[in-house]
Amino acid sequence: MKKNYSNIYSFNKKIIKKTVNFLKLNNIVGLPTETVYGLAGNAYSDKAIKKIYSLKKRPRRNPLIIHYYNYEKAKKDVYFNKNFFKLYKRFCPGPITFVLKKNKNSNISSLATASLNTVAIRFPKHRVIKTLLKFLSFPLAMPSANISSGLSPIDAFNVFEEFKKKLKIIIDGGRSKIGIESTVVDLTNHPKILRPGIISPNEIKNILKTNFSKKKINLRSPGMMKKHYSPGIPVIIGQKPKNINHAYIVFGKRFKSSKNYFNLSKKGDLKEAAANLYKIMRKIKKNGFKKIYVSKIPSFGPGIAINDRLSRASK
Ligand code: AMP
Ligand code: MG
């Protein structure tokens, strides 16, 4: 590892041990997951949770997703229901987050849930976070490892760029395969998708065999904030760039290569497009483009999540 990046570690037994001890002392670390990289801390500790909010400059009213090794470890903290088990069986561990009622006996810091009576839980698949969660006696609160409202990081260097040496440990687990945040589904009442992700609403519908609630919800949640996932330069949807100082995000083989064209997936694969979205937006910004224009992206499957992120980035 280069000297500049002395806080980025490869995955091995030694770093796992060091990280476990570090987390026990209510410190915060940068960790890989299959969706995006996260900023992790002890979900049972007010002290750790305060550090996460302050590092991210995240509004305190926006609750954090709590990560567990498996459902047994979450028993004490939430009330499960039938819909939960159906989806758990099909998709976990994986890129899906469940909002459930908080258990009366839960030890989760009320700061992490923004004093709501609900908790958002996820069971990540990436082997680094799974290994850590297995050894820990507490779950990890873990929002994406970026300053609030910006783009989520998809590799260890993205995390370094956000926080530099403010983090003592960032574990390098390679590029996040999925590349966008988890699907969030509220199961406290009639199921409702709060945030689309790589697991599409239809896949969930097929398992639950029910339609989603259309009720407007009044949740104070970050993924639901209009402006989010912003690359820091204007994003304009459905128009072509005016000149070559403007980048053009395109999708599919009908687009020729050009210096200011960035193809999310030449072969027209929406999963690949989702995995490339933040990487490409970061690259565009780094290359000095002043604006991002976006061509039409199909709105089904992972396309729903891509359009959701682009639309919020454009606000
Ligand atoms: P982020 O940490 O930015 O990936 O976003 C967390 C997402 O989880 C938000 O978009 C919310 O939809 C959801 N969420 C987290 N905690 C709760 C909670 N206690 N109740 C309801 N939704 C939550
Ligand atoms: Mg985030």
4-8, 22-26, 166-170: lowest mean pLDDT where? 4-8
CA 63 – ligand 1 centroid, Å: 5
pLDDT at 153: 98
Range 54-67 average pLDDT: 97
Mean predicted confidence (pLDDT) in 157-182: 98
Contacts of residue 170, defined as CB under 8 A and 6 or more positions apart, other chains included, come to 7, 8, 9, 29, 30, 31, 145, 156, 159, 160
Query: Is the CB of residue 219 below 6 angstroms from any atom belonging to ligand 1?
Result: yes
Nearest ligand atom owner, CA of 64:
1
- E-assigned strands of 203-260? 235-237, 246-250
Look at ligand 1, atom 14, and give the residue with the nearest C-alpha. Answer: 120
pLDDT computed for residue 4 by the predictor: 78
What pLDDT sits at residue 278?
97
- Residue 3 pLDDT > 70, yes or no? no
Strand pairing category for 140-141 and 170-172 = unpaired
The answer to whether the CB of 144 is under 6 A from ligand 1 is: yes
24: how many CB neighbours lie within 10 A of its CB?
A: 14
Ligand 1 centroid to Cα of residue 258, in Å, is 38
Is 109 near ligand 1, meaning CB less than 6 Å away? no
Ligand nearest to the CA of 146: 2
Is a pLDDT exceeding 70 seen at residue 268?
yes
- pLDDT over 90 percentage in the chain: 90
99 Cβ below 6 A of ligand 1 = yes
Reply yes or no on whether the pLDDT at 222 is more than 80.
no
Q: Is 34 in the pocket of ligand 1 (CB under 6 A)?
A: no
256 pLDDT band, cuts 50/70/90, is confident
Counting ligand 1 atoms within 8 A of each CB, the residue from 49, 57, 62 with the most, and so the one to mutate, is 62
Q: To 5 degrees, how large is the angle CA 306–CA 308–CA 312?
A: 120
pLDDT at 15 over 70: yes
Average pLDDT over residues 230-243: 94
| Average pLDDT score over the chain | 95
The domains of the chain are located at 8-208, 235-313
Give the 3-state secondary structure of residue 88.
Answer: helix
Task: Calculate how far, in angstroms, residue 119's C-alpha sits from the geometric centre of ligand 1.
Answer: 8
Encoded tokens for 209: 């065999």
**299 Cα–ligand 2 center, Å:** 22
Residues 11-29 have a mean pLDDT of 98
Q: Which atom of ligand 1 is nearest to the CA of 142?
A: 2
The confidence score (pLDDT) of residue 214 equals: 76
Residue 77 Cβ < 6 Å to ligand 1: no
Q: Closest-lying ligand to the alpha carbon of 148?
A: 2
Is the pLDDT at 221 greater than 70, yes or no? no
Mutate to test the pocket of ligand 1, among 64, 147, 193 (most ligand atoms within 8 A of CB): 64
Tokens of 233: 């330069």
28: left (phi over 0), alpha (psi -120 to 50) or beta: beta
Question: How many percent of the chain have pLDDT more than 70?
Answer: 96
Is 113's C-beta closer than 6 angstroms to any atom of ligand 1? Answer: yes
CATH topology of domain 8-208: DHBP synthase (3.90.870)
**Residue 223, pLDDT above cutoff 90:** no
Confidence of residue 215 (pLDDT cuts 50, 70, 90): confident
CB 7: neighbour CB atoms within 10 A? 20
Residue 184 burial by CB count (10 A; 0-12/13-18/19+): exposed, middle or buried? Answer: buried
Is the model's pLDDT at 199 over the cut of 60?
yes
pTM: 0.95
In this predicted structure, the answer to whether residue 241 has a pLDDT above a threshold of 70 is yes
Q: Are 98 and 123 in contact (CB under 8 A)?
A: no
